[in-house]
Amino acid sequence: MPLSATDPERAARVRLRARESWEQVACKFPGDVHTGVLGDDDVAVEEFEEFADFEPCPALDPDRGTCDVYAWRPITCRVFGPPVRSEGGLGVCELCYHGATPAEIAGCELTLDEANALQAELVSDLEKDGNKGRTIVAFALAEHSAVST
């Protein structure tokens, strides 16, 4: 059941944060601002990384620091949250593991093969409905998502 059915006020707050975020980043969005699909060339990727890391996620409640759409979270959140080891060490979302000990974090470790398989499965499920292309959370939540219908 969508968030708008279970908690309409929270859904409205998420939509508002998403619209405000999208309005703020649309002018520098490295892709199609009408579809929300990111460009797939190296320049677009670099431009995206320059602003995306500093834009707060509109699904994150600024007062509580929790995700308002956790049950419907995007693929990037599903595969980013678990700690994943790569050549650079163990990558971890600081928000997900705030206050956790290194041993607790290591106990949740996911290999790159597992993360890639999970992402491939989730992308495949989405593409069955005709959804293709990468976008950002603000665009997805502002336009259509679990919070809107």
Domain locations along the chain: 3-143
CA distance 118 to 69: 19
CA distance 41 to 68: 32
> What would the two tokens of residue 55 be?
């834009």
The answer to pTM > 0.75 is: no
**Could you list the pLDDT tens digit for every one of the 149 residues in the chain?**
778 888 999 999 999 999 998 888 888 889 888 888 888 888 988 888 777 767 788 888 989 888 898 887 776 677 666 787 777 777 777 667 778 888 888 888 877 677 678 778 877 876 777 767 777 777 777 754 444 43
Contact 138, 55 (CB under 8 A): yes
